[in-house]
Chains A and B, each alone.
Chain A
């Protein structure tokens, strides 16, 4: 069964500082991996996705994530945090086939706070 672990339910950074949100996955087959963001009072928005192409994936709003198979990780980074990045971030994985076809498994979410 697939699973996702996000390390840290809350992360706090200063504006302009590096953002690092950690995600580790467990999958028996090469996974698809996603990062979603939920801004206050809004729905889930796709930030970026890994689908077995380039291991470094660039997303919207300056975010990127690197797929590291040896570490089973897909950490999300942004070089310089902005106040508007304050939101909850979700890492998710899904299989390419089988009974989990089309189904996403989410991590617990990480709330990012950005201080002035």
Chain B
């Protein structure tokens, strides 16, 4: 079974540019999550999709961030325009069932650097 795939693995962009991160969950996993770790801070929840619907987007920092999951398969997270404080590692995770008892699988992350 293929794991959760994220790309790019690294991205360096200039302040004010747009970047789109992609996450391909494990096939058949309806639940997809985005997390972020800003330098020196803890990993923080951004949002949760169930299929194509946003179940919880309480962690999205501001309206420069837009997440989509068209068709309930892969997801994209767009940052537009990027700011310096957006630098960090963005993780995606997926799970087959709702609820943490089942656990979920993380991808390797995308390291975003805004200069």
Alpha-carbon distance between A94 and B104 when the two chains are bound, in angstroms: 12
Alpha-carbon distance between A41 and B110 when the two chains are bound, in angstroms: 11
B-binding segment of A12-20, A69-77, A105-113: A105-113
Question: In the complex the two chains form, is B42's CB within 8 Å of A109's CB?
Answer: yes
Interface centre among B56, B95, B100, by most chain A C-beta atoms within 10 angstroms, is B100
User: Does A45 make an interface contact (CB < 8 A)?
Assistant: yes
Interface centre among B33, B44, B45, B55, by most chain A C-beta atoms within 10 angstroms, is B45
The answer, among B44, B93, B100, for a CB contact under 8 Å with A32, is: B100
Question: Per-position contact with B for A34-69: 1 when CB-CB < 8 Å, else 0?
Answer: 101000011111100101000000000000000000
* A106-B44, A107-B42 known; A101 vs B99 contact (CB < 8 Å): yes
Q: How many residues of chain B are within 8 Å of chain A by beta carbon?
A: 27
Smallest CB–CB gap between A8 and chain B, Å? 14
Within 8 A of A (CB), among B9-59: 31, 33, 35, 41-45, 48, 55-56, 58-59
User: Does A28 make an interface contact (CB < 8 A)?
Assistant: no
User: Does A7 make an interface contact (CB < 8 A)?
Assistant: no
The interface size bin for chain A is: 20 to 34
Question: Per-position contact with B for A73-88: 1 when CB-CB < 8 Å, else 0?
Answer: 0000000000000000
Residues of B within 8 A of A109 (CB): 42-43
Number of A-B contacts (CB under 8 A): 65
Question: In the complex the two chains form, is B100's CB within 8 Å of A108's CB?
Answer: no
Smallest CB–CB gap between B113 and chain A, Å? 15
The answer, among A34, A43, A51, for a CB contact under 8 Å with B108, is: A43
Alpha-carbon distance between A93 and B99 when the two chains are bound, in angstroms: 12
Question: In the complex the two chains form, is A102's CB within 8 Å of B44's CB?
Answer: no
Question: In the complex the two chains form, is B99's CB within 8 Å of A44's CB?
Answer: no
For the complex of A and B, 7 pairs with smallest distance between CB atoms: A43-B108, A44-B106, A94-B100, A106-B43, A32-B100, A51-B101, A108-B42
Instruction: Please report B residues at the A interface, Cβ cutoff 8 Å.
Output: 4, 31, 33, 35, 41-45, 48, 55-56, 58-59, 91, 93, 95, 98-101, 103, 105-109
